[in-house]
Amino acid sequence: MFKLSDMKDLKPEDKKELCKDAFQDISAILADLRDQGLSDMEIFEFGKTLIDHFDPIKMENLKKDSDYQDALFREANDL
């Protein structure tokens, strides 16, 4: 399985390919949900959740934000 920490070692082209693969996987999942009778709104909401969860760029940004908040918390504790 791919780890977020591996993102910094990837080239932009590799990140783009990883996103493309993730979106293809998501599309297959959503098509299966439609075949099972889920409504378009349910599929749309679920799709948004999947995209947010699997988007490596968004995950990297969330990690940076979290690291920054952790650093601020540590600094505040030191005061």
Find the Cα–Cα–Cα–Cα dihedral 61, 66, 72, 76, rounded to 10°: 170
**pLDDT at residue number 70:** 92
pTM: 0.46
pLDDT in tens, the chain (79 residues): 555 556 667 788 888 888 899 889 978 988 898 999 999 999 888 878 877 777 788 888 888 999 999 999 999 988 7
**pLDDT at residue number 36:** 94
Task: State the Cα–Cα distance between residues 44 and 4, nearest whole angstrom.
Answer: 25
**pLDDT at residue number 4:** 56
What are the boundaries of each domain within the chain?
A: 13-78
**pLDDT at residue number 5:** 58
Which helix (H) or strand (E) covers residue 55, if one does?
Answer: none
Long-range contacts of 17-24 (CB under 8 A, 24+ apart): 18/56, 19/55, 19/56, 19/57, 22/54, 22/55, 22/56, 23/51
